[in-house]
Structure 1
Amino acid sequence: MQAIGFWFVLMILGIVNGIMRNDVYGPAIGNELLSHQISTVTGIALFLAGMYVWLKWTNARYSKKDLLVIGVMWFGMTITFEFIFGHYIAGHPWSKLLADYNILEGRVWSLVLLTIIVGPYFVGKYILKGCTDAI
């Protein structure tokens, strides 16, 4: 349950990151693609920092499998939120939502999703040096 609750923290971090891109540095840069790429890097950093704080301060112990399952669960929740909110609430067309997955066009959003999947395991094993059981 902690992992599901913490996903909402990640969602808030992602929204703040998007607001910063759209309202602060994006207009100053004047290049949407570059703003997207910077936002990807800052989003990854925010998510990894959040995962670090969560894993360091939680009382739960997680196995390698647990952390990978958490990452996959967060991935599914993120994709579901992105498409449902993005299309039905924000009103973005499907083509706009899918465009962020075109890495050949410099759209690197997929790296955020990869971080969401492997981030819990990476932070637990390599940054916190085995804060989990059975790694």
Structure 2
Amino acid sequence: MILKIILGFILIAFIETLNGIFRIKVLNKSFSKRLSKFISFILGSILIFLINLFYIPILGISSQEEAFFIGFTWALLMILYDVFVGKFMFKMSWENIADDFDILKGNLLSLGIILIVFMPIFVFKYF
């Protein structure tokens, strides 16, 4: 089960990385930075839903508690991934990394992390 959870995280990280590249390379050229982030958040939310719709049955979970554990684990791994990429690949300061999670500054990463936590429960319960 742990290997399947890690593979699910890798899928989420890959898709969300592509979403971020799409936002920077395409959306930012056509829309304001704020609107680009919002569109990217909506697109990312749909992608997270679709990944969960596909992947939750593969995991074979049997309770909402298991679904929460999976979502929490994915969210924790995504936070670590985002921090690692920001700090070590893009050489961002800790302040800029923290800003990426700051909703008050128009950044929606924190909402995306919350979505990752609870989407497995939603899919498990209603699909």
Specify every segment of 5 or more residues in structure 1 that has no aligned partner in the other structure, as ranges: 129-135
Q: Specify the alignment match of 1:96 in structure 2.
A: 96
Which residue of 8, 15, 19 maps to 2:17? 15
Aligned residue number for residue 52 of structure 2? 51
Residue number in structure 1 paired with 2:41: 40
- Distance between the aligned counterparts of 2:20 and 2:99, measured in 1? 16
Q: Provide TM-score, normalisation by structure 2.
A: 0.90
Runs ≥4 residues deviating over 4 A: none
Corresponding residue of 1:133: none
Instruction: State the Cα deviation string for residues 16-61 of structure 1 (Å, max 9, x = none).
Output: 10111011121111x21221121111111111111101124x1623
2:51 maps to amino acid: G
2:72 equivalent in structure 1: 72
Q: How far apart in 1 are the matches of 2:29 and 2:96?
A: 19
Deviation per residue, 1:56-93 (Å, 9 max, x gap): 4x162331111101111111101111111210122122
Percent sequence identity is 25
TM-score (norm 1): 0.85
Distance 2:59 2:4 in 1: 10
Q: CA RMSD in A?
A: 1.4
